[in-house]
Amino acid sequence: MSFIATVASIASIASTAAHPVTTFREVEWAGETVHLLPDRALFWPAAQTLFIADLHIGKAATYRALGQPVPSGTTAENLSRLTALIAEHAPQHIIFLGDFLHAAAARTPSILQALAVWRAQHAEMAMTLVRGNHDSRAGDPPAQLQIDVVNEPFLFGPFACCHHPQLHATHFVLAGHVHPVCRLFGRGRDSLRLPCFVAEAGQAIFPAFGEFTGGWLVAGEPGRNLYPVGGEQVWRLP
């Protein structure tokens, strides 16, 4: 069966599955079992740690400040999804893999207040931000949010937590930055773009967690595993 035909078959199954067996994909990276979550995050059970890439808080507000007619409410939605993940997995630590705030224009009073309220609800939880390219322009989160801020690579267990995809001499890299998506093909001209996790030798790249983000189209190739996210599940493409 061709690659396109196989993907089309998986897409058909995904669209008709009424009772999913599981809502996450369990994989082993760097000798550790981790869960790829359909909310575009990763949970490492052994360390009780949640990993998030490319939150881009305030991106829509930044565009609205430029006069672009984009929707509001994305910050509230992102924080609501984070809260749901915390309630489900009870992590002790969240590591943000860069681009927490989108830009300096994202630091509006309403956004900063929403972040303060959200952080107060999870005051006992450790949080770490690995600086990304947008963080360098937006600035570090306000100190009252009590988020430790570090540069890449941040070594945590067997993982090198980064923003930019790269290889590390001794650790398996967890990164974001490029917002990977893949394309599934159906019959005729039907196709569908879905966010995906990408795993290849020495590193894994996360889909963007943020609601208002674009995507970089990734093709399947030998040695690269794609895990698309859709329908509240995570699949592995052949």
Output the pLDDT for position 12.
42
* pLDDT, mean over the chain: 84
Structure-token match 């290889």, residue found: 167
In this structure, what token pair is assigned to residue 118? Answer: 């959200």
Instruction: Find the mean pLDDT for residues 61-76.
Output: 58
Is the pLDDT reported for residue 174 higher than 90? Answer: yes
Instruction: Mean pLDDT check: name the lowest of 10-19, 46-55, 181-190.
Output: 10-19
Number of helices and strands (H, E) in the chain? 5, 16
Which pLDDT belongs to residue 4?
38
- Return all residues near 23 (Cβ < 8 A) that are at least 6 apart: 37, 38, 232, 233, 234
Can you say whether the dihedral through the CA atoms of 44, 84, 107, 68 is positive or negative?
A: positive
Sign of the torsion formed by the C-alpha atoms of 182, 185, 189 and 190: negative
> Cα(162)–Cα(152) distance, rounded to whole angstroms?
5
Neighbours of 185 (CB within 10 A): 16
Model pTM score: 0.84
pLDDT-derived band at 72, boundaries 50, 70, 90: low
| Other beta carbons less than 10 A from residue 14's beta carbon | 17
Domain boundaries, the chain: 3-234
Nearest to 157 by CA among 23, 42, 41, 26: 42
Please state the rounded mean pLDDT for residues 165-191. Answer: 90
Q: State yes or no: pLDDT of 63 exceeds 70.
A: no
Strands annotated E in 30-122: 32-37, 41-44, 49-52, 93-96
Q: Got the DSSP string for 140-151?
A: SPPGGG--EEEP
- How far is Cα 200 from Cα 124, in angstroms, rounded to an integer? 35
Confidence class of residue 102 from pLDDT cuts 50, 70 and 90? low
Q: Which CATH number fits domain 3-234: 3.30.1490, 3.60.21, 2.60.120, 1.10.3470?
A: 3.60.21
Mean pLDDT of 52-56: 92
CA distance 22 to 17: 11
Q: Percent of the chain at pLDDT above 70?
A: 82
Q: Residue length, the chain?
A: 238
